[in-house]
Amino acid sequence: MLGIYSKRLALWCLVLIHTGSTKLTTCSTYTWRCKDGDCIPLSDRCDGFKDCKDHSDEAGCASCKPAAWLCNNGKCIKHQYRCNGDNDCGDKDESDEINCNDCQPGVWRCMTKKCINNDDRCNGDDDCGDDSDEQNCTVCQAGSWQCDNRKCIKSRHKCDGDDDCGDESDERYCETCKSTSWLCNTGLRCINHNKKCDGYKDCPDNSDENCTVCNAGVDRCEDGTCLSRNLRCNGVKDCLDNSDEVNCADDTNHIQYFLGAAGLLLLLVIIVTLGILCRNRRKGELLVLVSKKQQH
Ligand SMILES: *[C@@H]1O[C@H](CO)[C@@H](O)[C@H](O)[C@H]1NC(C)=O
Ligand SMILES: *[C@@H]1O[C@H](CO)[C@@H](O)[C@H](O)[C@H]1NC(C)=O
Ligand SMILES: [Ca+2]
Ligand SMILES: [Ca+2]
Ligand SMILES: [Ca+2]
């Protein structure tokens, strides 16, 4: 017992001497050299405690001492820092905060099994990665806005023409629109500029398609509104005046009539042929009967 302590003491003396003096290019046996030149006991490497001033003793570890946990980036941290909502590994994938079966008290657990700080819940930022920290919010934090579906989004995304809520409620109730978007004539709704004159109805009143010039490849309804060619003769009334569904039924009807008539004709031929066949067969049977009778 005493032997171990004295050995440790000797080690520490060695370290103190080393750190006290100018930085050495090599550290003696039983010591490890920090990136900044300091020497620490070899046993202090990868144990989860920061012994080097520059913390380099806890980086580049292949494994950690039992008291520590190995991050994806080769850093060792104390077990108690795992699943506490703070990115202690400091890596991009926040490896100490993912794959958590439980989070520490006061820390919020995402649907993705990631732990995040409670402060990051309902703040409009997707901290979980699947947005689950922004769902089912009672109130949204300052700088964020609550959607009809109780999701929180950053306030700057309100009335910008993009559906950030998922139920489009951030693009309703708009008095004015952000520069990226256009205000429909009625309905207090903002739509993205690229949805204007594209031939598809995005405003409830279709005012986004009431244009002097339609986009390339876009037709017009008879009332002058833009309509995508894809919507013409698709069986759905897209023009308010239904003009996208007239003068197209004819072509398909002709084919239908033709097919119908051909089918009917075929049926008739089959019936007649069967009829003839049956009659001939019955005739044959009769002839057989007659000849049999004559034989008797
Ligand atoms: C939101 O609440 C609903 C209903 O209670 C639940 O099914 C859903 O999992 C919750 N979503 C999140 C991300 O917590
Ligand atoms: C298009 O807009 C003009 C005025 O800008 C309006 O008079 C006209 O009724 C609109 N047409 C349709 C089909 O909404
Ligand atoms: Ca958040
Ligand atoms: Ca938006
Ligand atoms: Ca449109």
What average pLDDT does the segment 221-240 reach?
Answer: 91
Task: Kindly report, residue by residue over 21-73, the tens digit of the pLDDT.
Answer: 445 567 788 899 999 999 999 999 999 999 999 999 999 999 999 989 999 99
Higher per-residue pLDDT: 1 or 238? 238
Cα separations in angstroms, 267 against 108, 116, 259, 276: 71, 72, 12, 14
Substitution candidate for ligand 1 out of 130, 134, 136 with most atoms within 8 A of CB: 136
| pLDDT at site 261 | 74
| Distance from residue 151's CA to the centre of ligand 4 (Å) | 12
Least-confidence region, from 7-21, 105-119, 273-287: 7-21
Atom of ligand 1 nearest to the CA of 133: 13
Q: Per-residue pLDDT for 2 more than 60?
A: no
Least-confidence region, from 5-19, 86-100, 241-255: 5-19
| pLDDT at site 21 | 41
Residues in the chain: 296
Higher per-residue pLDDT: 37 or 290? 37
Task: Kindly report, residue by residue over 192-219, the tens digit of the pLDDT.
Answer: 999 999 999 999 999 999 999 999 989 9
| pLDDT at site 273 | 80
**Of all protein residues, whose CA lies closest to atom 5 belonging to ligand 2?**
210
Q: Confidence class of residue 3 from pLDDT cuts 50, 70 and 90? A: low
Q: Confidence class of residue 181 from pLDDT cuts 50, 70 and 90? A: very high
| pLDDT at site 28 | 83
Give the C-alpha separation, 100 to 238, whole Å: 50
| Torsion angle of C-alpha atoms 127, 130, 135, 139, degrees rounded to 10 | 10
Of 156, 191, 155, nearest in space to 172 by CA: 191
Higher per-residue pLDDT: 162 or 293? 162
Q: Which ligand is nearest to the CA of 137?
A: 1
Of 218, 198, 220, nearest in space to 208 by CA: 198
| Distance from residue 117's CA to the centre of ligand 3 (Å) | 9
Higher per-residue pLDDT: 141 or 276? 141
**Of all protein residues, whose CA lies closest to atom 6 belonging to ligand 1?**
136
Q: Is the dihedral of CA 194, 199, 203, 207 positive or negative?
A: positive
Share in percent of the chain as helix, strand, coil (round to 5): 35, 10, 55
Q: Per-residue pLDDT for 262 more than 80?
A: no
What average pLDDT does the segment 159-164 reach?
Answer: 96
Q: Which ligand is nearest to the CA of 151?
A: 1
Token readout for 241 is 């005046």
| Distance from residue 11's CA to the centre of ligand 4 (Å) | 62
| Distance from residue 47's CA to the centre of ligand 4 (Å) | 47
| pLDDT at site 271 | 78
Higher per-residue pLDDT: 33 or 257? 33
Substitution candidate for ligand 2 out of 186, 210, 222 with most atoms within 8 A of CB: 210
Atom of ligand 2 nearest to the CA of 224: 13
Atom of ligand 2 nearest to the CA of 205: 14
| pLDDT at site 20 | 47
